Structure 1
């Protein structure tokens, strides 16, 4: 069981203990949360995040965009034209393999976990399955952390409204609809609504009303799935 405990910067520790890599980092970026390295096992991991943030390209960006892992068992053999600036920047870095797994909760794309090894290395199928499970757990923790830290900055009339009994009923109803749309737990469905409201700069009550009125849906239809593979 992974626990944030008191020091969130040490979240990398249980993951590093489970995986055959030399270092890893957990970061947020994209449209939902600001770019930030939450936890890094070493200076190299932090540097890997920093380069990708600064350049706006690299494995973590592709992982988040495609909602799928990016596995580079020999990063030096990756065609330079794919990530031209990133490929140039890592020439002096001690990197053999780089792997990036997206952090997502429902439709919310939160960030990524980057892993590296000093020598070329191929992650095994079991390692990839472990990461798929771990990224779900970490995504929930990271989003909860961001929302918790933002609470003191977003207390106002709209937030007070969400505490009224009628508002709670609407949010509860919307949570049930998101749960059905995505096939996730009630707690995660609530987090999806809360995270979407945070990213949009709106109240949960507003988002809940749109969900109930069917003006907003998080369900992925077949056309969206087909389009993601084009």
Structure 2
């Protein structure tokens, strides 16, 4: 799918929202980070209305993106103006050309880092095939956002490529996370690096805790469910 390839090839976060409009029947899209790990920020928006939806949710602390983040599941609201789901948010966007809202969480393993907001100017629901496409696109966006965030901080949260023991323990830990969370190795490494960043520890320290059984991401994920 060309939109998936565009996301894979994207060089900047600002390019992450556009592909959603190419294959989904929506009017606008925005990609944002949320919560304590990466902070709350709009990384990409296709138009001012999409950016405004993010801004209102940041200010109020409620809305579809927050619900998607909290549940780690897609959120759909076919007609937000008739909904009582998020009263303050709905009132704040009443004058915008927005009727339907869809949010997809940005998740890498056990790390919840943000959400994708989609909206339509007319009441609607997403067809099952479109919802599946959005989920697949959200997986790619999740990895890209976390990879870039970790690349920016670098330093102590990067692997010590010159230390053989460090590489070995991180490799072992990656295999453990693959088994715990049933994710690909690339995602497992991102989870380890993201946890190191979130807890202000080195990747080697986190990896060692995983290998020695002091840390179990499958337990954390079950507790969040």
Q: Is the 8 A contact 1:102 1:109 kept in 2?
A: yes
Q: Does 1:55 align with 2:60?
A: yes
Residue 108 of structure 1 is aligned with which of 111, 124, 143? Answer: 111
Which deviates further from its counterpart, 111-120 or 29-38? 29-38
Matched, 1:150 2:149: no
Matches within 5 A, 1:176-187: 176-187=175-186
The alpha-carbon deviation at position 32 of structure 1 amounts to 1.8
Contact 2:174 2:189 in 1 (8 A): yes
How many angstroms apart in 1 are the aligned matches of 2:41 and 2:206?
26
Contact 1:105/1:140 (<8 A) preserved = yes
The answer to whether 1:173 aligns with 2:172 is yes
CA contact (8 A) 1:3 1:11 kept: no
1:63/1:53 CA distance change after superposition, 3 Å:
same
Task: Determine whether 1:118 maps to 2:121.
Answer: yes
Residue pair 1:70, 1:99 contacting (<8 A) in 2 also: yes
C-alpha displacement at 1:12, in angstroms? 1.4
Is this contact kept in 1: 2:158–2:193, CA < 8 A?
A: no
Contact 1:45 1:115 in 2 (8 A): yes
Q: Provide, for residues 83-116 of structure 1, a one-character-per-residue CA deviation record: whole Å limited to 9, x for no partner.
A: 2321221122111101101010110001000000
Per-residue deviation, 1:33: 1.1
* TM-score normalised to structure 2 length: 0.91
Alpha-carbon distance in 2 for matches of 1:177, 1:7:
31
Change in Cα spacing, 1:58 to 1:173, as seen in structure 2 (3 Å) is same
Q: 1:202 to 1:43 in 2, by over 3 A?
A: same
- Give the gaps of 5 or more residues in structure 1: none
After TM superposition, the structure 1 = structure 2 runs for residues 1-230 of structure 1, keeping only pairs within 5 Å, are 1=5, 2-79=7-84, 82-151=85-154, 155=155, 163-220=162-219, 224=222, 228=225
Secondary structure of the 1:94 match is coil
Divergent runs of 4+, >3 A: 3-7, 158-163
User: Once the 2 structures are TM-superposed, how far is the Cα of residue 163 of structure 1 from its aligned partner?
Assistant: 3.9
Count of residue pairs brought into register by the alignment: 220
TM superposition score normalised by structure 1: 0.89
Tell me, in whole angstroms, the C-alpha distance in 1 between the residues paired with 2:201 and 2:12.
30
1:146 CA drift (Å): 0.7
8 Å CA contact retained: 1:57, 1:83: yes
- Point out where structure 2 has 5 or more consecutive residues left out of the alignment: none
C-alpha displacement of 1:220: 4.8
CA contact (8 A) 1:27 1:37 kept: yes
C-alpha RMSD of the superposition: 2.0
User: Is the contact made by 2:17 and 2:30 (CA closer than 8 Å) also made in structure 1?
Assistant: yes
The CA deviation at 1:49 is: 0.4
